[in-house]
Protein backbone atom coordinates (compact mmCIF):
# COMPACT_ATOMS: atom_id res chain seq x y z
CA UNK A 1 0.00 0.00 0.00
CA UNK A 2 2.82 2.34 0.89
CA UNK A 3 4.51 1.67 -2.50
CA UNK A 4 1.23 2.55 -4.20
CA UNK A 5 0.88 5.73 -2.13
CA UNK A 6 4.44 6.80 -2.97
CA UNK A 7 3.80 6.10 -6.65
CA UNK A 8 0.65 8.24 -6.55
CA UNK A 9 2.47 11.09 -4.78
CA UNK A 10 5.07 10.99 -7.57
CA UNK A 11 2.39 11.10 -10.25
CA UNK A 12 0.59 14.00 -8.53
CA UNK A 13 3.84 15.96 -8.22
CA UNK A 14 4.72 15.36 -11.87
CA UNK A 15 1.24 16.25 -13.04
CA UNK A 16 1.16 19.36 -10.85
CA UNK A 17 4.45 20.42 -12.37
CA UNK A 18 3.25 19.85 -15.94
CA UNK A 19 0.07 21.84 -15.28
CA UNK A 20 1.84 24.77 -13.58
CA UNK A 21 4.86 24.99 -15.85
CA UNK A 22 4.12 23.38 -19.17
CA UNK A 23 0.49 23.75 -20.06
CA UNK A 24 -0.33 25.83 -23.09
CA UNK A 25 -3.69 26.75 -24.59
CA UNK A 26 -4.20 26.55 -28.36
CA UNK A 27 -7.17 27.95 -30.27
CA UNK A 28 -8.87 26.18 -33.17
CA UNK A 29 -10.78 28.62 -35.40
CA UNK A 30 -14.37 27.82 -36.41
CA UNK A 31 -15.99 29.03 -39.61
CA UNK A 32 -19.57 30.20 -40.14
CA UNK A 33 -21.15 28.73 -43.30
CA UNK A 34 -23.94 31.29 -42.95
CA UNK A 35 -21.89 34.49 -42.92
CA UNK A 36 -18.77 33.11 -44.63
CA UNK A 37 -16.51 34.46 -41.94
CA UNK A 38 -14.79 33.27 -38.81
CA UNK A 39 -17.28 32.28 -36.13
CA UNK A 40 -15.15 31.67 -33.02
CA UNK A 41 -12.61 29.22 -31.65
CA UNK A 42 -12.28 26.23 -29.32
CA UNK A 43 -9.60 26.34 -26.61
CA UNK A 44 -7.59 23.09 -26.43
CA UNK A 45 -4.75 22.22 -24.07
CA UNK A 46 -1.26 21.42 -25.36
CA UNK A 47 2.20 21.11 -23.82
CA UNK A 48 4.59 24.06 -24.17
CA UNK A 49 7.44 23.58 -26.65
CA UNK A 50 6.11 20.17 -27.59
CA UNK A 51 4.92 19.52 -31.11
CA UNK A 52 4.70 15.82 -30.34
CA UNK A 53 1.75 14.10 -31.94
CA UNK A 54 1.81 11.63 -29.06
CA UNK A 55 0.46 14.18 -26.55
CA UNK A 56 -3.12 13.26 -25.70
CA UNK A 57 -5.08 15.99 -23.89
CA UNK A 58 -7.71 13.44 -22.86
CA UNK A 59 -5.13 11.46 -20.86
CA UNK A 60 -3.96 14.55 -18.95
CA UNK A 61 -7.60 15.49 -18.28
CA UNK A 62 -8.42 11.99 -17.00
CA UNK A 63 -5.40 11.93 -14.66
CA UNK A 64 -6.12 15.47 -13.47
CA UNK A 65 -9.69 14.43 -12.64
CA UNK A 66 -8.45 11.37 -10.76
CA UNK A 67 -6.01 13.36 -8.64
CA UNK A 68 -8.19 16.44 -8.05
CA UNK A 69 -6.16 18.75 -10.27
CA UNK A 70 -8.80 19.45 -12.88
CA UNK A 71 -9.81 22.80 -11.36
CA UNK A 72 -6.24 24.02 -11.85
CA UNK A 73 -6.40 23.15 -15.58
CA UNK A 74 -9.78 24.81 -16.01
CA UNK A 75 -8.56 27.98 -14.33
CA UNK A 76 -5.59 28.17 -16.74
CA UNK A 77 -7.82 27.52 -19.77
CA UNK A 78 -10.50 29.97 -18.62
CA UNK A 79 -7.93 32.66 -17.80
CA UNK A 80 -6.29 32.32 -21.24
CA UNK A 81 -9.63 32.12 -23.03
CA UNK A 82 -11.21 35.17 -21.35
CA UNK A 83 -8.01 37.15 -21.95
CA UNK A 84 -8.13 36.13 -25.62
CA UNK A 85 -11.81 37.14 -25.84
CA UNK A 86 -10.90 40.52 -24.34
CA UNK A 87 -8.14 41.01 -26.91
CA UNK A 88 -9.99 39.76 -29.99
CA UNK A 89 -13.73 40.22 -29.25
CA UNK A 90 -14.17 36.77 -30.85
CA UNK A 91 -16.08 33.89 -29.24
CA UNK A 92 -14.12 31.16 -27.43
CA UNK A 93 -15.39 27.73 -26.35
CA UNK A 94 -13.91 26.00 -23.30
CA UNK A 95 -14.23 22.28 -22.49
CA UNK A 96 -15.58 21.44 -19.05
CA UNK A 97 -14.89 18.00 -17.63
CA UNK A 98 -17.17 15.53 -15.89
CA UNK A 99 -16.32 16.32 -12.29
CA UNK A 100 -16.56 20.05 -12.82
CA UNK A 101 -19.99 20.35 -14.32
CA UNK A 102 -21.41 19.13 -11.01
CA UNK A 103 -19.01 21.19 -8.88
CA UNK A 104 -20.56 24.26 -7.23
CA UNK A 105 -17.21 26.12 -7.38
CA UNK A 106 -17.45 26.19 -11.17
CA UNK A 107 -19.85 29.16 -11.18
CA UNK A 108 -17.52 31.25 -9.00
CA UNK A 109 -14.52 30.39 -11.20
CA UNK A 110 -16.35 31.42 -14.37
CA UNK A 111 -17.54 34.66 -12.76
CA UNK A 112 -14.00 35.40 -11.60
CA UNK A 113 -12.56 35.38 -15.14
CA UNK A 114 -15.49 37.18 -16.77
CA UNK A 115 -14.95 39.92 -14.19
CA UNK A 116 -11.14 39.87 -14.38
CA UNK A 117 -11.22 40.72 -18.10
CA UNK A 118 -14.65 42.40 -18.07
CA UNK A 119 -15.77 40.48 -21.14
CA UNK A 120 -19.22 40.06 -22.68
CA UNK A 121 -20.26 36.66 -21.17
CA UNK A 122 -22.07 35.66 -24.35
CA UNK A 123 -18.67 35.43 -26.08
CA UNK A 124 -17.76 32.55 -23.75
CA UNK A 125 -19.14 29.04 -24.37
CA UNK A 126 -18.73 26.00 -22.14
CA UNK A 127 -18.64 22.63 -23.91
CA UNK A 128 -19.95 19.62 -22.03
CA UNK A 129 -20.60 16.04 -23.11
CA UNK A 130 -23.51 13.82 -22.17
CA UNK A 131 -21.37 11.50 -20.07
CA UNK A 132 -20.62 14.49 -17.91
CA UNK A 133 -24.15 15.19 -16.76
CA UNK A 134 -25.77 11.79 -17.14
CA UNK A 135 -24.43 10.48 -13.78
CA UNK A 136 -25.74 13.39 -11.76
CA UNK A 137 -28.38 15.08 -13.82
CA UNK A 138 -29.93 17.19 -11.02
CA UNK A 139 -26.65 18.80 -9.95
CA UNK A 140 -25.55 19.33 -13.55
CA UNK A 141 -28.86 20.99 -14.47
CA UNK A 142 -28.61 23.32 -11.47
CA UNK A 143 -25.10 24.37 -12.52
CA UNK A 144 -26.03 24.73 -16.19
CA UNK A 145 -29.01 26.92 -15.26
CA UNK A 146 -26.74 29.14 -13.15
CA UNK A 147 -24.16 29.37 -15.94
CA UNK A 148 -26.92 30.36 -18.39
CA UNK A 149 -28.13 33.07 -16.00
CA UNK A 150 -24.63 34.59 -16.19
CA UNK A 151 -25.18 34.97 -19.94
CA UNK A 152 -22.59 32.30 -20.87
CA UNK A 153 -23.41 29.91 -23.75
CA UNK A 154 -23.53 26.12 -23.47
CA UNK A 155 -22.59 23.59 -26.16
CA UNK A 156 -23.46 19.90 -26.14
CA UNK A 157 -20.18 18.35 -27.30
CA UNK A 158 -19.62 15.05 -29.17
CA UNK A 159 -23.32 14.70 -29.91
CA UNK A 160 -24.27 11.25 -31.13
CA UNK A 161 -21.42 9.11 -29.88
CA UNK A 162 -22.74 7.94 -26.51
CA UNK A 163 -26.33 7.86 -25.24
CA UNK A 164 -27.76 10.84 -27.13
CA UNK A 165 -30.87 10.88 -25.04
CA UNK A 166 -33.15 13.40 -26.70
CA UNK A 167 -34.79 14.09 -23.32
CA UNK A 168 -31.69 15.99 -22.22
CA UNK A 169 -31.87 18.37 -25.15
CA UNK A 170 -35.27 19.63 -24.05
CA UNK A 171 -34.43 19.70 -20.34
CA UNK A 172 -31.11 21.55 -20.52
CA UNK A 173 -30.57 25.02 -21.96
CA UNK A 174 -28.13 24.34 -24.79
CA UNK A 175 -27.19 26.93 -27.41
CA UNK A 176 -25.02 24.74 -29.65
CA UNK A 177 -24.88 21.09 -30.66
CA UNK A 178 -21.50 19.81 -31.79
CA UNK A 179 -21.78 16.85 -34.14
CA UNK A 180 -18.94 14.38 -33.67
CA UNK A 181 -16.56 13.89 -36.59
CA UNK A 182 -17.28 10.15 -36.75
CA UNK A 183 -20.57 11.06 -38.50
CA UNK A 184 -18.97 12.81 -41.44
CA UNK A 185 -18.30 9.63 -43.44
CA UNK A 186 -20.66 6.94 -44.72
CA UNK A 187 -24.12 7.15 -46.26
CA UNK A 188 -26.08 6.21 -43.14
CA UNK A 189 -24.11 8.60 -40.97
CA UNK A 190 -24.81 11.42 -43.39
CA UNK A 191 -28.54 10.76 -43.07
CA UNK A 192 -28.13 11.05 -39.29
CA UNK A 193 -26.26 14.35 -39.70
CA UNK A 194 -29.05 15.76 -41.88
CA UNK A 195 -31.65 14.77 -39.26
CA UNK A 196 -29.64 16.28 -36.39
CA UNK A 197 -29.28 19.57 -38.29
CA UNK A 198 -33.04 19.63 -38.94
CA UNK A 199 -33.86 18.86 -35.32
CA UNK A 200 -31.41 21.47 -34.04
CA UNK A 201 -32.88 24.12 -36.34
CA UNK A 202 -36.39 23.46 -35.04
CA UNK A 203 -35.10 23.76 -31.47
CA UNK A 204 -33.23 27.01 -32.27
CA UNK A 205 -29.86 25.42 -31.62
CA UNK A 206 -26.78 26.17 -33.69
CA UNK A 207 -25.05 23.09 -35.14
CA UNK A 208 -21.28 22.94 -35.21
CA UNK A 209 -19.73 20.08 -37.21
CA UNK A 210 -16.41 18.88 -35.81
CA UNK A 211 -13.43 17.35 -37.59
CA UNK A 212 -14.24 18.73 -41.05
CA UNK A 213 -11.20 17.85 -43.13
CA UNK A 214 -12.26 18.06 -46.78
CA UNK A 215 -14.00 20.37 -49.24
CA UNK A 216 -16.57 17.61 -49.88
CA UNK A 217 -17.48 17.40 -46.20
CA UNK A 218 -17.76 21.19 -46.01
CA UNK A 219 -20.03 21.33 -49.10
CA UNK A 220 -22.23 18.52 -47.75
CA UNK A 221 -22.68 20.40 -44.46
CA UNK A 222 -23.30 23.71 -46.20
CA UNK A 223 -25.91 22.19 -48.51
CA UNK A 224 -27.74 20.70 -45.54
CA UNK A 225 -27.93 23.86 -43.43
CA UNK A 226 -25.17 23.28 -40.87
CA UNK A 227 -24.20 26.69 -39.51
CA UNK A 228 -20.63 26.26 -38.27
CA UNK A 229 -17.67 24.01 -39.12
CA UNK A 230 -14.49 23.24 -37.20
CA UNK A 231 -11.64 21.09 -38.47
CA UNK A 232 -8.35 20.89 -40.31
CA UNK A 233 -10.07 22.01 -43.55
CA UNK A 234 -10.40 25.53 -42.07
CA UNK A 235 -7.55 25.43 -39.54
CA UNK A 236 -5.80 23.17 -37.05
CA UNK A 237 -5.55 24.30 -33.39
CA UNK A 238 -3.07 27.21 -33.26
CA UNK A 239 -0.77 28.61 -30.57
CA UNK A 240 -1.89 32.04 -29.37
CA UNK A 241 0.41 34.20 -31.53
CA UNK A 242 -0.42 32.19 -34.66
CA UNK A 243 -4.10 32.44 -33.78
CA UNK A 244 -3.82 36.24 -33.68
CA UNK A 245 -2.07 36.21 -37.09
CA UNK A 246 -4.85 33.94 -38.42
CA UNK A 247 -7.52 36.44 -37.27
CA UNK A 248 -5.62 39.36 -38.77
CA UNK A 249 -5.29 37.56 -42.11
CA UNK A 250 -9.10 37.21 -42.40
P1 LIG B 1 -12.96 17.60 -28.21
O2 LIG B 1 -13.54 18.57 -27.24
O3 LIG B 1 -13.91 16.79 -29.00
O4 LIG B 1 -11.98 18.44 -29.14
C5 LIG B 1 -11.89 18.27 -30.53
C6 LIG B 1 -10.71 17.39 -30.88
O7 LIG B 1 -10.68 17.16 -32.28
C8 LIG B 1 -9.37 18.05 -30.54
O9 LIG B 1 -8.51 16.99 -30.12
C10 LIG B 1 -8.91 18.60 -31.89
O11 LIG B 1 -7.50 18.79 -31.97
C12 LIG B 1 -9.41 17.52 -32.81
N13 LIG B 1 -9.63 17.98 -34.18
C14 LIG B 1 -10.02 19.19 -34.60
N15 LIG B 1 -10.18 19.24 -35.94
C16 LIG B 1 -9.91 17.98 -36.40
C17 LIG B 1 -9.91 17.39 -37.70
O18 LIG B 1 -10.22 18.00 -38.72
N19 LIG B 1 -9.59 16.06 -37.76
C20 LIG B 1 -9.24 15.33 -36.66
N21 LIG B 1 -8.92 14.05 -36.83
N22 LIG B 1 -9.25 15.87 -35.41
C23 LIG B 1 -9.57 17.18 -35.28
P24 LIG B 1 -7.50 17.18 -28.93
O25 LIG B 1 -6.95 18.55 -28.93
O26 LIG B 1 -6.58 15.99 -28.99
O27 LIG B 1 -8.43 17.05 -27.66
C28 LIG B 1 -9.03 15.82 -27.32
C29 LIG B 1 -10.03 16.00 -26.24
O30 LIG B 1 -9.40 16.38 -25.01
C31 LIG B 1 -11.05 17.08 -26.51
O32 LIG B 1 -12.00 16.56 -27.42
C33 LIG B 1 -11.58 17.33 -25.12
O34 LIG B 1 -12.51 16.33 -24.74
C35 LIG B 1 -10.32 17.14 -24.28
N36 LIG B 1 -9.75 18.48 -23.96
C37 LIG B 1 -8.91 19.25 -24.67
N38 LIG B 1 -8.66 20.42 -24.03
C39 LIG B 1 -9.40 20.39 -22.88
C40 LIG B 1 -9.57 21.29 -21.77
O41 LIG B 1 -9.04 22.42 -21.71
N42 LIG B 1 -10.42 20.88 -20.77
C43 LIG B 1 -11.06 19.67 -20.80
N44 LIG B 1 -11.86 19.35 -19.77
N45 LIG B 1 -10.92 18.81 -21.83
C46 LIG B 1 -10.10 19.16 -22.84
CA1 LIG C 1 -14.94 20.15 -27.30
CA1 LIG D 1 -15.98 17.21 -29.60
Q: Which residues of the chain have pLDDT under 50?
A: none
CA of 2 to the centre of ligand 2 (A): 38
Among 55, 57, 98, 177, residue to substitute to test ligand 1 (most atoms within 8 Å of Cβ): 57
CATH number of the domain to which 74 belongs: 3.20.20.450
Q: d(Cα 244, Cα 238) in Å, to the nearest integer?
A: 9
What integer pLDDT is reported at residue 238 of this predicted model?
97
Q: d(Cα 155, Cα 152) in Å, to the nearest integer?
A: 10
What integer pLDDT is reported at residue 92 of this predicted model?
98
Which three-class secondary structure string do you get for 197-219? Answer: HHHHHHCCCEEEECCCCCHHHHH
Name the domain count of the chain. 1
pTM: 0.95
Taking CA atoms, 124 is separated from 3, 79, 152, in Å, by 44, 11, 6
What integer pLDDT is reported at residue 67 of this predicted model?
92
Neighbours of ion ligand 3 (CB under 5 A): 157-158, 210
Question: Ligand 1: which residues within 6 Å by Cβ?
Answer: 28, 43-45, 57-58, 61, 73, 77, 95-97, 127, 157-158, 181, 210-213, 231-232, 237
What integer pLDDT is reported at residue 57 of this predicted model?
92
Taking CA atoms, 217 is separated from 37, 205, 206, 230, in Å, by 18, 21, 18, 11
Nearest CA residue ID for atom 38, ligand 1: 44
What integer pLDDT is reported at residue 90 of this predicted model?
98
What integer pLDDT is reported at residue 11 of this predicted model?
82
What integer pLDDT is reported at residue 10 of this predicted model?
84
Owning domain of residue 55: 2-249
What integer pLDDT is reported at residue 164 of this predicted model?
63
Amino acid sequence: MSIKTNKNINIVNKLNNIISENLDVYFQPQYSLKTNEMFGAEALIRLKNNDSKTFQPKKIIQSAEKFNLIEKISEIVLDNSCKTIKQTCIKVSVNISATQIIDENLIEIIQKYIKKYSIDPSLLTLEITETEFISNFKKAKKNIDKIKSLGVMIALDDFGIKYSSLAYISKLQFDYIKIDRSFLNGKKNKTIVISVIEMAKKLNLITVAEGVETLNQMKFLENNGCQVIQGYYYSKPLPYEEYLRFINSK
